[in-house]
Each structure stands twice: as structure tokens, then as C-alpha cells.
Structure 1
Amino acid sequence: MSDAASGATTGSEGVTTRTTTYLLVDGENIDATLGGSILGARPSPEERPRWERVLEFARTIWGGDEVKGLFFLNASNGTMPMSFVQALVAIGFQPIPLAGESYEKVVDIGIQRTLDALADRGGDVLLASHDGDFAPQLAALLGPGRNVGMLAFKEFTSSALQQLTEGGLEVFDLESDVRAFNVRLPRLRIIPLAEFDPTRYL
């Protein structure tokens, strides 16, 4: 039996154990969506997400005891952005630099395998991506006793992922829900009336 509000799971003997939230980040996808679809150019440092805020959101959203942040990187060219990797480590992420053949989507494959592995263990799951390629793996995780969510720019989330919300997938907006940015992004999207702030347009 799961208490979604506290993130705790009660076993058959009534012993409560705390839940780990696994945060998986598809760095390539987030960067490509931010630069290509929202900014129209490569993001500057101040326009990129504050990843420590993303970690903190994962810690608080379901009240779990621990967050395991896994940040997937494509290192197929034999190099890593070391300053960025070191910054990730400093704030609590585990970078996962993957390499493969030129025809392989190494980050996608790595995340898919990780989601498959999580199906056999407890814990809540948050995935930062917009990619519909992960829909089968996320669908397999949905069910009683586990929270499953996406972190994304909602207007660019694939339809395959949006359809999973009917089965319990939660979608959190990186800007308005997570508050991962120091700047306001030039987004054109449908605004729920409850979120409308007229001062943004004055």
C-alpha cells in the first residue's frame, strides 16, 4: 500500500519504508527543445535550466526520502564537457556518459534500459524529456504504489506521452512548475487561466 502524499510504502508487516525518487534527465532532448523550439538559438548559460532546482523539485514533489539523479550524456565522440560534468556532480547528480555507434541513439537506449530496470524495483520515477520513444517503458511503470512523472515544456511533450496521463502519468512544466529558470522564456503556449499573470505582458 502506498501513501502518495508522503512517499512512504507500508509493507505486509506494517513497517513503513521511505521511497526513492529516480530522476532521469535526457539532457540532449531538453537542450534541443529549449534551443530549437523555444529560443531559436543555442541557449546561453543564463537561459539553461538550474539543475539543482530540478533536483530539489524531485525531492519535494512526492515527499520521498531520497533522490537519485541520473543525467544521461552522449559521449560517442570520445569527449565529455568536463566543467559541466563536474558541476553536475557537485550538486548531486550522477552523470552517465554513454558511447555507441553513429546510428545509435545512445542516450535514448540508456534511459530505456534504466526504465526497464526500474520496473523490477520500487521507487518513484521522474523523467526529464519530451521524447515519445520512452512511452512504452513509462506505461509499464504506471500502476498502484508508484508515482511516475515527466518534466518538460508541456507544449512540446509528445502525444504518446500525453496519452499516458489518463493512466496516471503526471506532467510538470520545467518553467512554471519546477521554476528551473532564472529568465522568462519566450514561449507561446495555451495558458490555463489560473496561471495567467497579466504583468508579464504589460
Structure 2
Amino acid sequence: MSTDAAPRPTYLLVDGENIDATLGGSILNARPAPDQRPRWERVLQFGEQVWGQPVRGLFFLNATNGSLPMSFVQALLAIGFQVIPLAGDPSDRGEKVVDVGIKRTLAAIAGRDGDVLLASHDGDFAPEVETLVDDPDRRVGLLAFREFTSTALAGLTARGLETFDLEGDVHAFNVQLPRLRIIPLAEFDPLRYL
């Protein structure tokens, strides 16, 4: 009988609405074309590679309208995500069901062993992320477009929150996005502008 403990997991929580809204509304100023959307399998692979441990991908979707984008859901399931379709009260248009689900999940993870990657820009998660960052035995990372990360989340980097750019670090896209961002000189590639 083996006494080997299960490997420490990385929980990867994806706020799909937030990533899509930031991509379409702030970067592209239009609905993303299929080739402009993140390659979610690469995000999962990055989650495994960044800290060298198994990843548990949780992809949160708002299903309040009673339907799901089944082809997208099937694709997520096929690459290894667990899809979490949440529904709230349809008459409460202001209810952020995905945010509530992610906040509850982050709080639940605080009582478990494991590291965390959150794919979102939303400052609403700062209190839960702060609790996780304050645990000295836990690594916590943020997958986002750095220039659109909320100041509440960005402020946690000084306390140990690691940030990973979805385009530059994760390589989640097949195309180069038309982003205007501050470029560290070490990352500057003049060929991109020629």
C-alpha cells in the first residue's frame, strides 16, 4: 500500500464573461472573431506548467437565461475544464452570478490545500484573493491583460500575487492583439511595429 500523498493541485478559476468583455470591449472594440478568442487549452496547459503540478480548471458561465452555448461547453469539457453554469433570479438583472460563484469558490479553497490561478480583471475578487495571498504556504496568480487589471487586484502584487499576461506569458491567442500597453524594454520587439 502506497502512502504517497496526492499531488498539490492548482485551482484555475476562469471568469469567462470578464475575459470576453475585456477582450471585446476594451481591446478589440468589437465582438471577438473566433481566431481572436483565447485558446483555453493553452490556458490549462499554462496552469499545469507554471508551478509544475496538476491543474483543476473551473470555467464559470452565467446560465440565468436558461440556456448554454453547448458547442462552447462541449469544447471546454473536451479539453479538461469543469464547466460551472450558474443561474440567478432572472428578474434581478444586477445579480452577478458568476462573481458570486467565483467568490464562494475562492473562499472554499482558502480552507483547502492548493494553489490558485484566477483568470479575471475584476476587483470584486480582491478580498478573497487577499486572504489566499496572505497564506504563506500558497501560491496565487492572476491571468489577465495587465493594463486592464483592477487596481484592487494589481495592488496585491506587492504582497505576493503573481500576474501573468494572457497574451505575452500564457500565449493564449493565435493572433497578435491590437493592445496599447506599456512595454518593458526587455520585451520590446521592433519587428512587431515594422
Q: Do these two structures clear the TM 0.5 threshold for a shared fold by scoring above it?
A: yes
Alignment of 1:14-53 (within 5 A): 18-53=7-42
**Cα deviation per residue 1:14-50 (whole Å; 9 max; x = unaligned)?**
x775210000000000000000000000001100000
Query: Which residue, out of 52, 68, 77, partners 1:80?
Result: 68
**Cα deviation per residue 1:100-149 (whole Å; 9 max; x = unaligned)?**
02331000000000000000001000000000000000000012111100
Residue type of the alignment partner of 1:72: F
Are 1:60 and 2:49 matched, yes or no? Answer: yes
2:113 matched residue in structure 1: 122
1:173 matched residue in structure 2: 165
Corresponding residue SS for 2:71: helix
2:179 matched residue in structure 1: 187
Are 1:133 and 2:97 matched, yes or no? Answer: no
Identity %: 72
Residue type of the alignment partner of 1:87: A
Query: Structure 2 CA distance, aligned partners of 1:72 and 1:17?
Result: 25
Query: Structure 1 CA distance, aligned partners of 2:44 and 2:14?
Result: 10
> Structure 1 length normalisation: TM-score?
0.91
Residue type of the alignment partner of 2:38: P
1:8 matched residue in structure 2: none
Structure 1 unaligned runs (5+)? 1-14
Query: Structure 2 CA distance, aligned partners of 1:82 and 1:199?
Result: 40
2:77 matched residue in structure 1: 89
Corresponding residue SS for 1:186: coil
1:10 matched residue in structure 2: none
Count the aligned residue pairs. 187
Residue type of the alignment partner of 1:48: R
Corresponding residue SS for 2:172: coil
Query: Structure 2 CA distance, aligned partners of 1:163 and 1:67?
Result: 26
Displacement of 1:63: 1.0
Corresponding residue SS for 1:97: strand
Higher strand fraction (1 or 2):
1
Corresponding residue SS for 2:51: coil
Query: Structure 2 CA distance, aligned partners of 1:141 and 1:189?
Result: 28
Corresponding residue SS for 2:61: strand
> Structure 2 length normalisation: TM-score?
0.94
**Cα deviation per residue 1:63-112 (whole Å; 9 max; x = unaligned)?**
11x21000000000000000000000000000000000233100000000
Residue type of the alignment partner of 2:161: L
RMSD: 1.0
Structure 2 unaligned runs (5+)? none
1:113 matched residue in structure 2: 104
